[in-house]
Structure 1
């Protein structure tokens, strides 16, 4: 599922993801009176250690760095900064919003909702808290609640963060035209290079999931033109190349992707592309990343449910999928549970969850493939898209 974080906006969601895959521009250092020099936030906090909002902002930067670098150790640093901020003023909306963002980054979406709502109660005009609330409610399967939060964002500040979330809500309803329209509005509103890259990347994702690989690759290229360091767009190029049969090109791109950002999703995509090319997948780094994220307090049963269903032990996949769905009963978790149950030999129970995953009209090729395959196993008529390649299923996951 798509994760949303634009510049200073604190958000996630996104689905995907598998692990939270957001990207933000590197925060600018805070200016000081001397126009010849710019003071970093850390320097400011050494000078003004009682600045609770400064500590909250530092925590937010650490959360962003965890997402950008794939290093979950930044979550621990964020927790430390927030402990100081909360000691100074635990009722401030900026502190509460940063705490919500950290909870969301660790996939503790119930806590994220609680903290975001407290931030909103303290300041009903705080757009960042509504962003976290929208994404966390979506992760919990509360799409109506997520829409209310997005609508409020649109009222308060109809900019890039609001437009991208509105786009995702439309995509979940199956309204791809409206989803594209909102993303185009976001692109027109964006000015920072990272924001422009972000909007272009998701225009590429819409095209990719619609089967238009040429348009998708074009959008990914435009995203990298705007911001060459934007790794998701490089991964998008790798995806488009692999799905287009250009496996040597795709593998070269994936090498660059995982050197920059060895997130589990990218490692799984790389492994599947290697298998497709007749090579052996090496999951060593993936399993190491799993341990690192777990040690940092990140609960990511979704990634491991999907991975074990396709490449490991179906019983383990079911265990992870049930745990994920119990905490976060969203469409992606429902699909993961359905597929794990199917792989474990339980197609009847699997169908119930596959129907839940596709109930909103979301036209995602992976969901459609999973449901059709399950229905066929039960002897029901179902059309499997012949263009969908199940050997590269991770490349169709939700970003």
Structure 2
């Protein structure tokens, strides 16, 4: 494995309490002024009284404000200085604790942890636990930065851990499940996750990725059962927030929007770290967006960014909401910032379609080219972006190519998103009868989606089923009248063309 140089720098302690020296005037230094009263005490005695008075004030202030002041005996040789407070946990400890507790860690802390484990493994290459920790840290770093180059490193570290300990290596198995999910290989994520859960059924940190894998495979029943199991293990601390976040996603997929919103609100309250709070706030924002409330979604995204300025997904969400509110310049700026910090293909597609809706074909084309480059880069790290690429080809490229890609993706994963995307690609390629079958199945899975309803309405319109088309196009705009800057005007134009239903007497 490629080992990079790096040294862990111990965290610096808090600054010493400095006691200002009393100003002294040497006798005779100020002509015409004669000192009065008793002789001045020595500098050391005078400082001791100052420090004692300062400590007394601090104790009183601590009692008044509800704080706690701990007086530590002075050590020999320490003149008139207060003792140093004990340092808090450093970045390595914070990142390791976060990964072990199933909560997100900051990018800076992850970098410190990676450097620490790499250094340790140079002299301790048989430490299977450190290999697993290193692999998990690489996965999280790659996920947060959208840099798929971390994923092959993660894979190598995790397989090395398994080689060192082939049996009952739950930590490595769970890491491989998380890696597979980050690469959008949901079948592999399910398989690794199920192996980890079988070995350690009470290890709650494996369940979130397994639940997400079930969701992305369209197996809502299995996701619900795993959620019930996870909920029964623990509902306090970090696990409590994780349970609520997972519940919010499962409820959303079932169309239980109010339950999803309540679960995510609870997750925000239970969050133990800023990064975990940002995740719950962001998902609340996504839910508000899907429900057609862009102003509310914007508030959630901004709150997520205040909790964790590095939560780049909320920058893209902010761009989406700002565009819906007519604040186009700010929306473009937010999207560009999100792509610069976390270059994900789906953000490039959204920004390209925003430019296209503004009739800026040159800028839209640049984003679509960037999307292709991003997909290629992620592919080198083993990431599957077929769903995003298929939707791009269906709307902006070669519909036949979209069908080929999305047919394979649907056979691999079978989620509602893959079902809907395949139906849309078939429609764009001219096979409307087959397209409608997939569009109906996508909506039947329970998720309430304006995009699904729009796609189905357009397919029905192409088939001459005007009543059903009108109903689903209206439904799309009712669910979220801002669901796409490019497609909303098309939905409105299609409804105008369809007109109102004819008022005819029922047949006798």
TM range (shorter): 0.7 to 0.9
Distance 1:71 1:136, change over 3 A: same
Residue 321 in structure 1 maps to residue 412 in structure 2 = no
- The 2-side partners of 1:335 and 1:275 are apart by 23
Contact 2:177 2:188 in 1 (8 A): yes
How many Å apart are 1:365 and its aligned residue?
1.1
Instruction: Tell whether 2:199 aligns with 1:122.
Output: yes
Please say if 1:63 is aligned against 2:139.
yes
Residue in 2 aligned with 1:170? 251
Q: Which runs of 5+ in 1 are unaligned?
A: 1-5, 12-21, 33-37, 395-399
1:89 to 165, 181, 184: 165
Aligned to 2:279: 198
How far apart, CA to CA, are the structure 1 residues paired with 2:115 and 2:394?
49
Instruction: Give the TM-score normalised by the residue count of structure 2.
Output: 0.69
1:368 maps to which residue? 453
The residue number in structure 2 matching 1:338 is 423
Return the match for 1:264 from 333, 336, 345.
Answer: 345
Deviation at residue 391 of structure 1 after TM alignment: 4.5
8 Å contact kept, 2:197–2:207:
yes
Alpha-carbon distance in structure 1 between the residues aligned to 2:379 and 2:415? 22
Over 3 Å counting, the alpha-carbon distance change for 1:9 and 1:249 in structure 2 is farther
Alpha-carbon distance in 2 for matches of 1:226, 1:93: 32
Match of 1:310 in 2: 395
In 2, the alpha carbon distance for the partners of 1:144 and 1:103 equals 21
Residue 8 in 1 paired to residue 99 in 2? yes
Q: Tell me if the contact between 1:269 and 1:392 (Cα under 8 Å) persists in the aligned partners.
A: no
TM-score (norm 1): 0.87
C-alpha displacement of 1:373: 1.7
Question: How big is the shift at 1:390?
Answer: 4.8
Q: 1 CA distance for matches of 2:310 and 2:115?
A: 24
For the residues of structure 2 that align with 1:285 and 1:136, how far apart are their CA atoms? 28
Which one has a bigger Cα radius of gyration?
2
Aligned to 2:155: 79
Which residue number in structure 2 is paired with residue 295 of structure 1? Answer: 380
Moved over 4 A (4+): 27-32, 388-391
Change (3 A) 1:108 1:389: closer
Quote the residue 2:177 is aligned against: 100
- Provide structure 2 residue ranges, at least 5 long, that are not aligned to the other structure: 1-96, 489-508
With CA pairs under 8 Å and 6+ residues apart, which has the higher RCO, 1 or 2?
A: 1
The C-alpha deviation readout for 1:148-206, integer Å capped at 9, x for no partner, is 11111111133222211111111111111000011011111102111111111111111
Q: State the partner residue of 1:151.
A: 228
Say whether residues 1:227 and 2:304 are aligned partners.
no
The answer to whether the 8 A contact 1:29-1:41 is kept is no
Q: Cα RMSD (Å) of the superposition?
A: 2.5
How far residue 23 of structure 1 moved from its aligned partner, in angstroms, is 6.8
CA shift for structure 1 position 324: 0.4
- Structure 1 pair 393–362 and aligned structure 2 pair: CA distance change class (3 A): same
Native 8 Å contact 1:29 1:40 kept in 2: no
Alignment-derived partner of residue 207 in structure 1: 288
Offset, 1:100 = 1.6
The count of aligned residue pairs is: 374
User: CA–CA distance in 1 between the matches of 2:117 and 2:152?
Assistant: 18
SS in 2 for 1:216: helix
1:19 aligns with: none
Structure 2 Cα separation of the partners of residues 356 and 329 of structure 1? 10
| 8 A contact 2:104–2:276 mirrored in 1 | no
SS at match of 2:444: coil
**328, 353, 359: which is aligned to 2:438?**
353
Q: Determine the C-alpha separation between the residues in 1 that align with 2:100 and 2:448.
A: 28
Distance 2:277 2:198 in 1: 32
* 2:28 aligned residue: none
Change (3 A) 1:95 1:25: same
Q: Is the 8 A contact 1:23 1:67 kept in 2?
A: no
Following superposition, the deviation at residue 30 of structure 1 comes to 12
